[in-house]
Amino acid sequence: MHFKLKIWRQPNRHTKGNLVDYELSGVEPDMSFLEMLDMLNEKLIVNGEAPVAFDHDCREGICGQCGLFINGRAHGPHDQITTCHVHMRAFKDGDTIFIEPFRASGFPVQKDLKVDRSAFDEIIAAGGFISVNTGQSPEANSILISQDTAEAAFDAAACIGCGACVASCKNASAALFTAAKISHLAQLPQGKLERKKRVLSMVKKMDELGFGACSSTGACEVECPQGISISHIATMNREYFK
């Protein structure tokens, strides 16, 4: 397969970037999108050019590092999937593919396709945890939790922090990410002790970091690789106003 690639190149966050044209042949349909970028980088290195910087780690759809905007959509053409699980058979031979970083004020570009998502870490540090005395693991049945509550908490906890929700939102809102963390802990007995302080601190930190407000367009839910529901944003709002 042969592709024309238009890739965002930017030396650092202080320098203006632009789309650069590349052509790549010999791409196998079963290659992942990241393997295709690896192939391009090998070609660039052989030619004495700087490789394209992009985020990746596990390549198993777990870590949330591989956030790319592909043809104007976070993570590419499929629903509920990470970039590393996109395969080149999803495109047609000869296609032109636009590849850009996640764009949001809270995610400054570090280099090329790499963005700084440490703002998410700051939101978590503001309250996305519980304070407990460490020690031996408690008996599993010592704290009874209903199946429905456990399922709802696990659904929220499935967030991998990739940032697709922010990149897809017209307001660059981090509401779905923050809500997932708040909703997860608010529904479990272990998280109820600090629930009031948690929601106030995390929402305040989200606002301080320059993320926009939620206007309920639902783009975040559509592009989330884990399919996390915007109903968790409603949960966060109820927690906050309480």
Angle, CA 209 vertex, CA 206 and CA 212 arms, to 5°: 65
Q: How far is CA 144 from CA 70, 147, 149, in A?
A: 44, 10, 10
Going by C-alpha positions, the residue among 192, 187, 163, 186 that lies closest to residue 176 is 163
* Pair type for strands 96-100 and 18-24: unpaired
Same fold, 3-111 and 118-241: no
pLDDT of residue 192: 86
CATH topology of domain 3-111: Ubiquitin-like (UB roll) (3.10.20)
pLDDT of residue 146: 87
Domain residue spans of the chain: 3-111, 118-241
Exposed, middle or buried by CB within 10 Å (0-12, 13-18, 19+), for 1? middle
- Give the pLDDT of the chain (242 residues) as one tens digit per residue: 999 999 999 999 999 999 999 999 999 999 999 999 999 999 999 999 999 999 999 999 999 999 899 999 999 999 999 999 999 999 999 999 999 999 998 999 999 999 999 999 999 999 998 887 767 777 777 778 888 998 989 999 999 999 999 999 999 999 999 999 999 999 888 888 898 999 999 999 999 999 999 999 999 999 999 999 999 999 999 999 99
Exposed, middle or buried by CB within 10 Å (0-12, 13-18, 19+), for 121? exposed
Beta strands in the chain (DSSP E): 3-9, 18-24, 69-70, 73-74, 96-100, 109-111, 114-115
Going by C-alpha positions, the residue among 157, 162, 166, 229 that lies closest to residue 187 is 157
CATH architecture under which domain 118-241 falls: Orthogonal Bundle (1.10)
